[in-house]
Amino acid sequence: MAGAIIENLSGKKLGILIGILMICQFLCFLVGGLIAPAPSSAMSVLGTKCIDKNYENDNWYWVRGKHKCRSIRDNNEPVIEEQQITANNIIFTFQIPTPKDGKMLDYSRWQQNLIAILTMDVLYNEEEQVDPDAVMTIEARLGYRNKEDADNKWTEYATSIEQRRLDCSIDPASRKPGYMYSCAHVPLFELGSLHHDFYLLNVRLPIRTEEEMEKGLGPINNGIGHVADMWVVFIHQNGGFTKVWVSLKTIFFPTIVAIMAWFWHRISQLSRPPALLEYMLMLLGVALTILNCPLEYFTLFFDCPWMTVVSDIRQGLFYASLLSFWLIFAGEHLMDDIERNKLKVYWRHLSAVLGGCMCLFIFDMCERGVQLHNPFYSIWVTETGTNLALAFIILAGICAGLYFCFLSYMIWKVFMNISSKRQSLPAMSSARRLHYEGIIYRFKVLMLATLLCAAMTVIGFILGQVSEGGQWTVDENIKLEYTSAFFTGVYGMWNIYTFALICLYAPSHKRWPKDQILLWEELWYKTLKKTFA
């Protein structure tokens, strides 16, 4: 009997397979909820104001260890007035990670990445008010050292002079000396890897000197108000979560490779060439294999700042393959007289997927691609960059809308054809009737699995938006980290979903004796009729 495994698999065996896959799915949620910590941690650090009247941009200023800088607590301290210290001589210093409970901490390579977000404490002053369109010029240097290095041995990682828009507001009733503006967060830098033990950030807000003004240079950092303090929030991925994540990849990677090899072996034994749907299943498996490949192990031995960009590309390839597969699977089950076993038939549908993916890829390269050269770069800090980024995002949204219109129409058309075909099934020949019943059965099983996956994705997304301040407590000793459970559960779901597709839609090699074919057909028809009555 020719066909896919799902057409020839008994209800008992199919139930056992689905039960095993659901147990694996449940374990993926439990691993993230009970074993893994939160995906990321944030550390807010108040900048120490180091002073140096003879500032040079190749000097480092640190606040712990030997030869640390001379610092002040307040810009209004007498020492500033006595020594005529200006903003050019004040360096905001951030040495991370900060000690905890009197114990020195260091970064681990398992923590993968580092994001810095800047926040300003601006005091209200009638003489130094913040302009509505204030632009802040930042001179930033990022350095690193390792445990075996001396306290004063800092190596430059990146340096840049950047501009950031300062969006501050204050309530009219609070326009009094000593009150603070409410300022929006400002992106500062992003590192794709944490290869070193300690990092040092020096930030300066320079102003033009009289000599520079006489040379015709325009003023900078005018209209940003009286900056009292500077805070930086450092966000990194937790090492414990990375270990769980990479462990799942290590398990899923050979599993998907093995099922793909088995699937293609069965395809190669057929006398006919592979169908378009079978090619799409292989493409989906290849994309998932690329996503599963545990490249994170390289970050334990090498500095890989490109890892974030590679991860984005891998995820994009998988989602593009999955969306394309859904379109073609629906098209191949329309059950009409049109020959659709060709990729060019779906060029209108796939162009929406390709267009959306290209827009997001260009946006990602404009942001994180440039950050490989300059970690302090952000496309959102200029009006032109913001408009360009929004344009790509809007185009991607339009493509996504067109895709869902195409997919919804095709699924609706499939179900309409199913309804019409079911009315005429009793009048068909036994072989033709079984052919259409098999198509209906396969399509409904896939739609059920897809709806379950979509439902879990939506539920997981809602749980991920809940405040991290609250936790689900099973009892006093067991706490569920639901954000990690969402990430590991959804990741496991896509692997299990793809595994089931490749397994169930592989060609069946089951053969039946000629004298049992009619009896088998009758039993198969009764089972289908009972299931979908």
User: Can you give the pLDDT of all 533 residues of the chain as single tens digits?
Assistant: 356 777 676 667 777 888 898 899 889 888 888 888 888 888 999 999 998 888 877 889 988 888 788 888 655 554 454 456 788 889 999 999 988 887 888 999 998 889 999 998 888 888 788 888 888 899 999 999 998 888 888 999 999 998 888 888 888 887 888 788 888 888 899 998 899 999 999 999 988 877 777 777 777 888 888 888 899 999 998 989 999 999 999 999 999 999 999 999 888 888 888 888 888 899 999 999 999 999 999 999 988 889 989 998 998 898 888 888 888 877 776 655 566 667 777 787 788 888 888 888 888 888 888 888 889 988 887 778 888 888 888 888 888 778 878 777 877 887 777 777 666 666 666 666 666 666 666 667 777 776 666 566 556 555 544 433 333 333 444 455 677 888 888 889 889 989 988 888 888 765 544 434 444 444 444 444 444 44
pLDDT of 515: 38
> How far is Cα 159 from Cα 142, in angstroms, rounded to an integer?
6
| pLDDT of res. 335 | 59
The pLDDT value given to residue 476: 40
395, two tokens: 């185009």
> Would strands 40-46 and 226-237 be described as parallel, antiparallel, or unpaired?
antiparallel
Q: Give me the domains of the chain, ranges plus CATH numbers.
A: 5-39+240-531 (1.20.1070), 40-237 (2.60.120)
Cα Rg of the chain (Å, integer): 30
**How many whole angstroms separate alpha carbon 109 and alpha carbon 194?**
5
Q: Cα dist. 135→130, 223, 446 in Å?
A: 10, 8, 54
Q: Which residue has the tokens 């005529």?
A: 84
* CB 352 within 8 Å of CB 406: yes
Tell me what pLDDT residue 151 has: 83
pLDDT of the residue at 468: 37
Report phi then psi at 60, rounded to 5.
-110, 145
- Ramachandran sector of residue 516 (left: φ over 0; alpha: ψ -120 to 50; beta: rest): alpha
What's the pLDDT at 451?
Answer: 63
Tokens of residue 44, six digits: 């807010």
Give pLDDT, residue 479.
52
